[in-house]
Structure 1
Amino acid sequence: MAIAPRTAAGTDASGRKLYLAVVDGRGGSVGLSVSELSDLMLTLGATDAVNLDGGGSSELATRTSRSAPVAVRNVPSDGT
């Protein structure tokens, strides 16, 4: 499978921890294959994971508290 930006979610064996990952893949960042994304999720601690998205729209946005603004945490190649 091709090297590309990726977004994934996974859980640990207990189902109590959620792991979210986004990997940029253009404009200076290499990206990952689906197999490499699987290895990353295992390294993070996920025993079950799903590849959610790939390509320039891969984006992770978070906020640190309910009153904080939402912030994009990566650099999507298609822009924000």
Structure 2
Amino acid sequence: MSRTRHPILAVVDFPPLPATVLRPLVDPVPLSPVSLVWRKGMLHPGLGALRRAAAFVAAEEGWLRRPEGGWVPKQDIVAMAGH
């Protein structure tokens, strides 16, 4: 926001910026799928550890469970079903 002056969607604890307004999106709460991606064929010694750590935290914190009242657009549900 401070660089482009374009509105953004962010987490609820996004730091305040001068002349901006926080408007929570509720009823239903929109959810957005996020994925870890990398270039095909990229090999890096830390990539496996990063994937394992993300999977562990996701399982521990319930990242993949849809919260009650959460909403995901139909096209995102279809896209996620293929993975």
Q: Name the TM-score, length of structure 1 as normaliser.
A: 0.29
Structure with the bigger RCO (C-alpha within 8 Å, sep 6+) is: 2
Which has the greater radius of gyration? 2
More helix, by proportion: 2
Q: Name the TM-score, length of structure 2 as normaliser.
A: 0.29
